[in-house]
Each structure stands twice: as C-alpha cells, then as structure tokens.
Amino acid sequence: MKKLCFVSLCSLALWLPSALRAEESVQWKDVDGWSVRADPSLGNACYIATSYQEGTTLRLGFDFSGNQKQIYFALGNARWKSLEAGKEYPIKVQFDRSPVWDATATARDIGTSVLLVATTTDTNFIEEFAKKLTVRAEFNGRQIAKLRLDRSAKAITAMLDCQTAVNEVTAKSAPSPSQSDPFEQAPGSQVKTSDDPFDL
C-alpha cells in the first residue's frame, strides 16, 4: 500500500495583485467542468475543483504556504455535517483498481465548506489523478465517494499552466532585496534630519 500523508497571463497579471491583498482565489479558466484557480492563501498555488450531482466537491492542487511544497486532495459534501474542523480522519483513496493510498485527512474550513484535506509530496498522486477514470474514497470501511475523473488530464495540464503563469507574475512583482526595507539607509549615505523619528 502507498502512503499519503495528510499539495490567460494578462488577465491573471491584472487580478493577482488585488487578490494577494484580499486573500481570495483568482479564476484562471474553466476546462470542461473543472475550475482552475490560484489561491494566494496557499502561497499563490493553483488548484482545480469540480462538483458532482450528489453534492460532493473535489479539489486538487498545490500548497506552497509551508516550508515544504505539497500536493493536496480535498473532498467535501454538505451532508457531512458531523465533520469537525481540525480533526483528523483516516481515509483510503484509490484510482480505478490501482493500489490504495492510505491517508490521514484533516477537516478544514475552506470558503463556506468543511473539506477533508490530505497532503502528499509524491507527484505520482497527480499522475494517477490525470490518467485514471475514477477515484474512490473510504472512511472506516465505508465508501464515502466514488467519482468520475472526466477530462482530468486536461484539467491537470491547465493547472500546471496556471502555476507557470502565477510564478511568472509573482516573480515580476516581488520587490528586489534593495527595496525590501524602505527604512534601511543606503550604503555611504550620511543624511540625518532632526525630525526623523527612526534616526537613532
């Protein structure tokens, strides 16, 4: 068994700076039923999301908010009212008939929903997601979701394109080291004024 430890450029350039301030996700595009977005709260990481008729929400993306870059897989349903944010739930995830991923998912408040979120650093998880036709999830031996992954390969490609574009935009907007501290005195500068409260 495998282990899962529970991660258009012009329009993005216009919307991303304001979204960074508001911590709102930014729409990249829609791809055959998948929404592709960038999430500033996760370190400007892109993700894909879709919903199913039975009310289940599925989200897969990157999480760059911590020291280690991760891939995350999230599931939620409005009927799962007993999920407690912050609590861990052991689940199993399986693509088609491939080996099962054992996961410890954490219930998290994401937007207006509580989702089960599992993370990994294994890129094979994304590869399986893109290549397989279905994904199943179990909790305590009970199937909680069996979902079709229609056009998931196309969605993953769009997510990777989104991340490339976001990385380019954030690299251009990042301050240079000399601009990072506006109160730091330039080398060789001896200008001092009596009304400068920061001049010690």
Residues 6+ apart with CB under 8 A from 64: 7, 42, 43, 44, 45, 70
Q: pTM for this one?
A: 0.76
Strands 56-63 and 88-95: unpaired
User: Distance (Å, rounded) from C-alpha 45 to C-alpha 188?
Assistant: 40
Span 42-82, pLDDT tens digits:
999 999 999 999 899 999 999 999 899 999 999 999 999 99
Domain-by-domain residue ranges, the chain? 2-175
124-147 in b/e form (b: 16+ CB < 10 A) is ebbebbbebeebbbbbeeeebbeb
* Structural fold of domain 2-175: Immunoglobulin-like (2.60.40)
Beta bridge partners of 56: 77
Span 153-184, pLDDT tens digits:
999 999 999 999 999 988 887 666 555 565 56
